Structure 1
Amino acid sequence: MKAYPLDLFPSFWDKMESHIVNKDVVIHETVLDEIRRKDDALKKWFDSLKSYKPMKTSKNILPDYLEIIDWAKNAGYTKEAIAEFENQSRADAWLCAEAKLNNYVLVTNEVSSNSKNKIKIPNVCDQFNIDCIDNFEFMRNFNFIF
């Protein structure tokens, strides 16, 4: 939301709403949980989508989730990075597992990093052959033209 404030990019948010309502774009429940823990413009925008139901965590996700967590624990990351990544209230590991299990494409503004201080979604995606794109590629794929 910080990159695309509602008052400056209303057409972006209109298009996003349309794709969410049409289920071309899904928001995982763990992401929505993270959003709703903050009281900001993004939370208010999601709250305005009254009938929207986030994507539920797949029932058979646990093996993929544990495989990703196990990789993170053995990839040389700091204890703090691992603790943050495996914190069950955080969405990243669940998103990666969901994408791995169901061949979903993840959209993130994170970029790969060699740093072992934070586990980045693109690094996980590279390790597990998960498709991962940034916001600009997402917008191109869905014909967001302003």
Structure 2
Amino acid sequence: MEYLFDTNIFVESKKNLPMDVWPTFWTKMVELISSGNIYSIDMVKDEIDRGGDELTDWIHNNAPRGFFLTQDMAVMAKLVETIAWAQNCAVHFSQSAIVDYVKVADSYLVATAAARDMVLVTYEKSNPQRRNRVMIPDACNAIGVRTCDLNTALRELGIFI
């Protein structure tokens, strides 16, 4: 199984597992990236780049070009599906929630995971009644994509630090 990482996995890991205190964790992340078990998308890279910090440097030094997947026709077809779900959802998301969902990496992560049969790894939690934000787990549930948090992904990959 391949795993697709949300921006928040990297950002929260940097915050809660500082690179100078948890070097083993960050070394394992490099190993996972190199093994082809985990990926992310180009829009996540863009979000990390905007931080301009040690995480940005780490990503540039440790994530090869193929780690950040780009959109192809299969992804774009799933993107249309996930956006249509958000627009027609019974919760009736606010217009700004739908615009934000399309503008940030979230909808592209969901579409990529669906198109490539990947597990989407995020710290977001399902909240099906939320109107002001489309939550990744809810969008994934709607189009048949499995989600999990980082600890679950690491356990499934047999990584114990």
The alignment's TM-score, normalised by the length of structure 2, stands at: 0.82
Which residue of 36, 40, 59 maps to 1:46?
59
Distance across 1 between alignment mates of 2:37 and 2:155: 14
Residues 55-90 of structure 1, C-alpha deviations (whole Å, 9 max, x = no match): 222233222101111111122111121111011xx2
For residue 85 of structure 1, the aligned residue among 77, 83, 101 is 101
CA distance in 1 between partners of 2:156 and 2:100 (Å) = 31
Alignment-derived partner of residue 55 in structure 1: 69
Number of positions where the alignment pairs a residue of Structure 1 with one of Structure 2? 144
Contact map agreement 1:78 1:116 (CA 8 A) in 2: yes
In structure 2, give the amino acid aligned to 1:6.
Answer: M
Greater helix fraction, Structure 1 or Structure 2: 2
Taking a change above 3 Å as real, the CA distance of residues 60 and 129 of structure 1, as seen in their structure-2 partners, is closer
Q: 1:135 aligns with which of 146, 150, 159?
A: 150
User: Which amino acid is the alignment partner of residue 148 of structure 2?
Assistant: I
Q: Secondary structure at the match of 1:112?
A: coil
Q: Which of residues 107, 110, 115 is equivalent to 1:96?
A: 110
Greater percentage in strand: 2
- Sequence identity of aligned pairs in percent? 28
> Do structure 1's residue 109 and structure 2's residue 109 form an aligned pair?
no
Q: Check conservation: 1:81, 1:119, Cα contact below 8 A.
A: yes
Of the three residues 72, 78, 84, the one matched with 1:64 is 78
Aligned structure 1 segments of 4 or more residues deviating by more than 6 angstroms? none
Structure-1-length-normalised TM-score: 0.90
Name the CA distance, whole Å, in 2 between partners of 1:118 and 1:17: 32
CA distance in 2, matches of 1:92, 1:59: 18
Distance of aligned partners of 1:69 and 1:51 in 2 relative to their CA distance in 1, 3 Å threshold:
closer
Which residue does the alignment assign to 1:74?
88
How far apart, in 1, do the equivalents of 2:56 and 2:151 lie? 22
Deviation at 1:50, TM superposition (A): 6.5
RMSD, aligned CA: 1.5
Counterpart residue type for residue 72 of structure 1: A
Q: Report the equivalent of 1:2.
A: 15
Higher relative contact order (CA 8 A, sep 6+): 2
Residue 44 of structure 2 is matched in structure 1 by 31
Partner of 2:5: none
* Alignment match of 2:138 (pick from 123, 131, 139): 123
Q: Which runs of 5+ in 1 are unaligned?
A: none
